[in-house]
Structure 1
């Protein structure tokens, strides 16, 4: 069996000995597969080299969104492909319909990055509310202007935080925010039980009410029908003046130009997140140099601990496949017959 792993390139592997999701480490699958007579090929190429490797691959492992976009045309050329595994969470870079039509199962390591992304949400909320980035920039620039840094710095305590989507990441974000003594609203397709709401410290709200009442809005929902450009110019206009928006969900949930305009005008107090559209973000992406942002590259779900969980999950899925078994049910995104 041939496994092709499309992973992050690492220009300096000697400096990054703990990065498992790289072409150099290959999620530490190489030796494990070789012992059983199977082959692992790692690459970060997305062109002809990758297409050549896919022609006889039975399993493809890919990090979320980059570098591989596995569309219908590429899937149809991979005649032996039986299983696609996202090394992490978020599989909308794979055409699931095209895959299942050809008898291919799509799986991901559900829950592997939940803690990592939830912590990143809290980090970026605090970075915005406390005006951290401009204050840090003063250090780099050799300045010392407390009034300028403090003018837009606030306490998080007493604020209203709205969380859109209360799945695993949204719920853990709420748990981490609860000690800050904030009022937390949430909106989700399925309302939580009263017991869950009590434990998490949240109160259910309609989406429009949440957006208009929250000082901080945190998007923790998948990209799906109805969520693309959820935050367009009209919806941003209904947010509180100076509210902060955090999005570690999907870049396309926010309208690119409308966001930049809102940050430039001060309509929003700031924007943070680590998801972009497209990814990787080009050097001239409108968000890179807009004011009032605390953006990072898309790395929140790739902490060293998350990568360890991802590697273990990918290995589990592959071992089950070798035994002729399906992935665990909670790992399956799409399967033949869906």
Structure 2
């Protein structure tokens, strides 16, 4: 008989053989996320929860989870989970960092190139029957080679984006709350910049900072007013870092040239959003990590975290290791982690 019960909030691209050796596993089979009411009922009766960014794991839900030992999220970010509430209940929280760096950096570059060279507009133009001849001024866009790339947030993904920029002979500047060591700047060929200077001089700006109180709507009217009218904004981080109303105003008024988003606020973007009426905006459905290899590895890591938590072992990738201090009678268990950008 299985020792534990586990609820998985979505079908995953792996089998659950290893997990099923120790737990009864119930997987939500619908395409849409389970309703909050379903999550609430499930957590009352399970030992482990494997969830996604689309699942709101808030304080009331955590406080109702009287038997829950571990929450394992198949994502790097975890702003959908009330970490303080989980830590107070001594519930371990795992995530899947590192594995999606290259996939997300690759998509960032796909969006940079698609926006600059107006690939999506060109596809629509062709399919609508408007391509009748070669025209000297048709769908012109800026050069990428030799342009200035501004990177906001120099974590793993920001660094991977900078590495790829070297192949385009770009000037790369970055802003982060903490400046990186000089040897890393030299190896990546990047320059530290203030946020204001980055806004003013960059031809392309790409966002790779976590979402926090400090970065919520970090890009709004004042920031768009500082950017070049020819600038292109890319966001593969979190949707709420960019104020969608301000972005619409900036794009529709020509304050910036174009933008490409893999994340929106809210997600999915409502079909009545005015952003969907703009030709100078590309929106993809949060597919930054959507390579076969990356999604499989993320699922495997999430399962490994879950198994470790159920077996009272150290999670390979733990968000709140303070729980271990609490269990050993040391520390207050509620240390926060600083957000950098």
Q: TM-score, normalised by structure 2?
A: 0.88
Show the counterpart of 2:146.
158
Aligned length: 317
Compared CA separation, residues 301 and 149, structure 1 to 2 (3 A): farther
1:55 paired with 2:29, answer no
1:234 paired with 2:219, answer no
Show the counterpart of 1:132.
119
Partner Cα separation in structure 1 for residue 198 and residue 299 of structure 2 = 37
Task: Note the C-alpha offset of 1:322.
Answer: 3.6
Task: Note the C-alpha offset of 1:282.
Answer: 2.0
Counterpart selection for 1:108 from 62, 74, 95: 95
Counterpart selection for 2:6 from 3, 7, 10: 3
Partner Cα separation in structure 2 for residue 277 and residue 143 of structure 1 = 33
Compared CA separation, residues 299 and 216, structure 1 to 2 (3 A): same
Compared CA separation, residues 295 and 202, structure 1 to 2 (3 A): same
Task: Note the C-alpha offset of 1:162.
Answer: 0.2
Show the counterpart of 2:181.
193
Is 1:186–1:210's contact at 8 Å kept on the other side of the alignment? yes
3-state SS of the aligned residue for 2:172? strand
Show the counterpart of 1:249.
237
Partner Cα separation in structure 1 for residue 76 and residue 302 of structure 2 = 11
Show the counterpart of 1:35.
21
Partner Cα separation in structure 2 for residue 3 and residue 182 of structure 1 = 48
Task: Note the C-alpha offset of 1:225.
Answer: 2.3
Structure 2 unmatched ranges of 5 or more:
324-332, 335-341
Show the counterpart of 1:118.
105
Compared CA separation, residues 138 and 333, structure 1 to 2 (3 A): farther
Compared CA separation, residues 273 and 334, structure 1 to 2 (3 A): farther
Q: Please, what is the CA RMSD of the aligned residues?
A: 1.7
Alignment of 1:256-267 (within 5 A): 256-267=244-255
Structure 1 unmatched ranges of 5 or more:
8-22
Partner Cα separation in structure 2 for residue 47 and residue 196 of structure 1 = 44
Compared CA separation, residues 58 and 268, structure 1 to 2 (3 A): same
3-state SS of the aligned residue for 1:126? helix
CA offsets 1:272-322 (integer angstroms, 9 cap, x no match): 121111112222223222230111011111321111211221232123224
Compared CA separation, residues 256 and 85, structure 1 to 2 (3 A): same
CA offsets 1:252-282 (integer angstroms, 9 cap, x no match): 1111111001111121111112111111222
3-state SS of the aligned residue for 1:4? strand
Is 1:131–1:149's contact at 8 Å kept on the other side of the alignment? no
